[in-house]
Amino acid sequence: MNPFELIDILRNHTVYIQTHNFPDPDAISSAFGLQQFLDFHGICATVCYDGKVDRLSSKKMLDTFGITMYSKNELPDMTENDYIVLVDSQKLNSNVTDFIGDEVACIDHHPIFFQYHYLYQDIQKVGACASIIASYYQRTNTPILPNCAAALAYGIKMDTADFNRGTTLLDTEMLSFLFSRADWGLVTRMYTNTMEFDDLRAYGAAIQNIQIFGGTGFAYIPFDCATALIAIISDFILSLDVVDIAVIYAMQKNGIRFSLRCEQNRVHAGTLIAHVMKPWGSGGGHPSMAGGMIPSEHVHLLGEDIHVTIQDAFLNAIAEMEKELPPA
């Protein structure tokens, strides 16, 4: 897609840039990068989200890079005639609240699970959505401020796990493009003091509850914790030498939140969790990382022992998917 087409669509409209709920560093940096890109071309846009920015590292981004985001409750003036650009998210997905505005555009790197017609759609199979936004600057020779370049670089590094997960050529090219333009001291600052003391409780619970079945590790966090933290702990569990699929789930106020990580050559994480969640909730994601949710009103469907039900569902689905893999 030509980024100038997006500019033409948005011109003379009130514009919002919406991330997925509980935005992570890639979503935050992508939204900020797009906001600054549009601003250079004469379009003022407001970055917004639902849920909350619930990880210390994500909160720190707002201060470090000078980013302003507004929650749904802070947008009383949005109307159905206003234009929304979805970033790092797609309409109809379970992790994106349907705001009153008109979703006219989507820029994302996740697989498409629900078809929707946008006036502008740029969905690419890359490691980080921030890489797509960075390419807009490169392709159009648009100047980029050092703090914006730093934010996009940090988003790329985080969502690719420092180029160890789902990395594509565009991700490496865009980091190279951003490197000389970024205030790298801001990126370095993001790697210090990013863990809260309460995070240790979640790590401790996951370690205490971990069970491993044939390379698939399950860990349960029996209390409400930040959604982004669940994902970080799933990366931690996957780092164990006896685990190549990590399933982490936590009991939250609105249901059970899942985060899944998978060594890429085994099964497709997004397909796996979408299949497992189907009777009770929803899920999806990339080949190596995915997430899902069972809403509180459906938790009773898991029966008396939710852990046995969850483990059996994943293990059976993994076995079925592995039968379809070509011989090594």
pLDDT tens digits, 141-174: 999 999 999 999 999 999 998 898 889 999 999 9
Together in a domain, 180 and 251: no
Together in a domain, 213 and 160: no
Confidence of residue 259 (pLDDT cuts 50, 70, 90): very high
Task: Give the list of residues 6+ apart from residue 180 with CB closer than 8 angstroms, or none.
Answer: none
Say if 59 falls within a structural domain: yes
> Among residues 241, 233, 243, which one has the least CA distance to residue 211?
243
Reduce the DSSP state of residue 3 to 3 states and report it: helix
Together in a domain, 39 and 132: yes
The pLDDT value given to residue 147: 98
Q: Which of 167, 189, 211 is the last residue of a domain?
A: 189
> Among residues 124, 174, 126, which one has the least CA distance to residue 154?
174
pLDDT at 20 > cutoff 80 = yes
Confidence of residue 287 (pLDDT cuts 50, 70, 90): confident
Structure tokens belonging to residue 65: 């890079």
List the single range of 9-13, 55-59, 124-128, 176-180 with lowest mean pLDDT. Answer: 55-59
The pLDDT value given to residue 305: 96
Together in a domain, 145 and 238: no
Together in a domain, 145 and 55: yes
Q: Which structural domain, as residue segments, surrounds residue 304?
A: 199-323
Say if 114 falls within a structural domain: yes
Say if 328 falls within a structural domain: no
Report how far apart, in Å, the C-alpha atoms of 325 and of each of 266, 320, 321 are. Answer: 8, 9, 7
Number of domains forming the structure of the chain: 2
Mean pLDDT of 209-238: 91
Confidence of residue 18 (pLDDT cuts 50, 70, 90): very high
| DSSP letter for each residue of 212-256 | EETTEEEEEE-S---HHHHHHHHHHHHTSTT-SEEEEEEEETTEE
Say if 84 falls within a structural domain: yes
Together in a domain, 146 and 203: no
239 versus 48: which is more confidently predicted?
A: 48
The pLDDT value given to residue 131: 98
Report yes or no: 148 and 36 within 8 Å, Cβ to Cβ.
yes
Report yes or no: 23 and 31 within 8 Å, Cβ to Cβ.
yes
pTM: predicted TM-score of the whole model, two decimal places: 0.77
List the single range of 20-29, 257-266, 307-316 with lowest mean pLDDT. Answer: 257-266
Together in a domain, 208 and 312: yes
Sign of CA dihedral 148, 154, 159, 162: positive
Mean pLDDT of 227-243: 89
Together in a domain, 108 and 25: yes
Q: Which of 166, 189, 212 is the last residue of a domain?
A: 189
Structure tokens belonging to residue 304: 């008396």
Together in a domain, 22 and 102: yes
The pLDDT value given to residue 296: 94
Q: Which of 141, 168, 189 is the last residue of a domain?
A: 189
- Per-residue pLDDT tens digits for 31-71: 999 999 999 999 999 999 998 887 777 889 999 999 999 99
Together in a domain, 277 and 295: yes
Say if 194 falls within a structural domain: no
Reduce the DSSP state of residue 112 to 3 states and report it: coil
pLDDT at 264 > cutoff 70 = no
What average pLDDT is seen over the chain? 93
The enclosing domain of 240 has a CATH number of: 3.10.310.30
Together in a domain, 76 and 183: yes
pLDDT at 328 > cutoff 60 = no
Confidence of residue 326 (pLDDT cuts 50, 70, 90): low
> Among residues 145, 138, 104, 99, which one has the least CA distance to residue 122?
104
Together in a domain, 12 and 155: yes
